[in-house]
Chains A and B, each alone.
Chain A
């Protein structure tokens, strides 16, 4: 018993001394850039700057950090500073965790939540997409059954959603921060190119085909699928474009439109099933109140026509004033300063809560020991 007590005491001390591990489980995207993985890396990077031992945890040893014959790795699409962060694989069997450590698991990996249920460390879910919550859960299963009590998410909508699904969660929100390199300082005027991002690439191809078919006199307009570009090149290309298109029915937040706003590039977007907080709100009777910070439509088929209208307006320097004005208001709302400030506060609270948990356990064990010794 006293050995266990000693271990908990040491763990509390370790947390207070920042002498513990934070392991962020991450899927290997094999070089395909995704906003979700980028956000995880941002957390690890910032926590390390704050003096914590945060690391990327991945499944296999052959995690793609650097470019090979098949394409980019983390170093190429996210940057060397991210690739050089500490990485540890489960396969290497080098990971050892104690009560002071934390494992952060993305919402899609319910199997990992199950497999780690008896781990002595604290486990936290990192929720970025509502779509994958139930992907690997059996009917009737919930996170509470795997002793998951803490969740970090990126926005209020997701917090409300997950809290309505599972009981007794501590859900903290750390909003994303759009990096400053998206902020356009280039004086070069924008060019007749449309940047596009879609979950389903077939939608992009369809849009382009319809557009050229219906509006042959606008064939000089170039459409660019932005997927697969390294982050900073992505920002540069987006800055050049006079407009962007975003189609993601299942988006939980939608980073791309915010990046586009930060680049002063107006977005035409399909309203997703879960309306992002920056796009607008749904009132008590179900009415959708949209912001003017982009051109939002619920009709996917209308997008080629909206793009054509925008091209015409661009050619005459008449892009909608209300959209440009509202974009200006929103472009800096998700900034790196707020991200860093909130991240610092949230993790600090998580660590304090863990200390309280361990202290409570310690007190209970001490009382039990006293009773047994009497």
Chain B
């Protein structure tokens, strides 16, 4: 048993993807403390999950319907965190998979590094057919890439943006104190969150293990749909905004004006 809550935000019913995602939770060598499926106002998702056979996970699984009216990814995670009971939490997108060793490693690294607030996995990036493309986050283990081997720092983030926090294991208290995820940060909410955590001196470490299998640029995903809707200038705008907003824990309304 661990002290890690696993949050799975599900905004759309895609049975095959969701089935693979749940299977990866069932395969964990060490089970999470609890599994929270955070659903939106889509009743088909609620019905599906409420009738799903979770097998061994049944006793630790809850389906919670987000009734806040905010169904973007960040709000779904924040909602799940408020509902969670574990000391730490992680999350899994319903179209991705956790590596079977991820929760186990989370437990081991929390024990070895209790001062760390955010543990990122090495992400195994695949194409739509499941073929390996690259790793993400692994570079912090390259000698002299960051200020301290294995840790992500603010100076490195100023220069390099392509880190992925999918599957990150986070100390819940530090997450809430630090202002949680900002829904107004649009596409750069990951980047802004990591900048903010490092600015607040919350140690961010990459566990040098494959923790998360992420389908890169999956057609139909929220990320891809959103990416299609913005141009290069807007993209730059959000990166620059992230570099300014991370000083604040409050999520402020931001509007892009071309």
Contacts and interface: CB of A to CB of B under 8 A. Distances in A.
A221 B108 contact: no
Interface in B92-124: 99, 101, 104-105, 108-109, 111-113, 122
Interface residues of B, number: 24
A191 interface: yes
Given A217-B134, A316-B99, A316-B101, A191 B108 contact: no
Interface in B105-156: 105, 108-109, 111-113, 122, 134-135, 138-143, 145, 149-150
B141 A220 contact: yes
A191 B101 contact: no
A222 B135 CA distance: 16
Interface string A209-238: 000000001011110000000000000000
Contacts of B109: 189
B210 A187 contact: no
B132 to A, nearest CB: 8
A187 B110 CA distance: 11
A42 B113 CA distance: 37
Given A187-B112, A192-B208, A315-B122, A220 B139 contact: yes
Interface string A191-213: 11000000000000000000000
B141 A187 contact: no
B209 interface: yes
A192 B141 contact: yes
A220 B145 CA distance: 9
A316 B210 CA distance: 6
B141 A221 contact: yes
Contact of B138 (A188, A189, A220): A220
A266 B51 CA distance: 47
A187 B210 CA distance: 20
Interface centre among B104, B143, B150, B208 (most CB of A within 10 A): B208
A26 to B, nearest CB: 35
A187 B139 CA distance: 24
B138 A317 contact: no
Given A217-B135, A317-B105, A222 B142 contact: yes
Across chains A and B, which 3 residue pairs bring their CB atoms closest together, nearest first? A220-B141, A220-B138, A317-B101
26 contacts: A187-B111, A187-B112, A188-B113, A189-B105, A189-B109, A191-B150, A191-B208, A192-B141, A192-B208, A219-B142, A220-B135, A220-B139, A220-B141, A220-B142, A220-B145, A220-B208, A221-B141, A222-B141, A222-B142, A222-B143, A222-B149, A314-B208, A315-B208, A316-B210, A317-B101, A317-B209
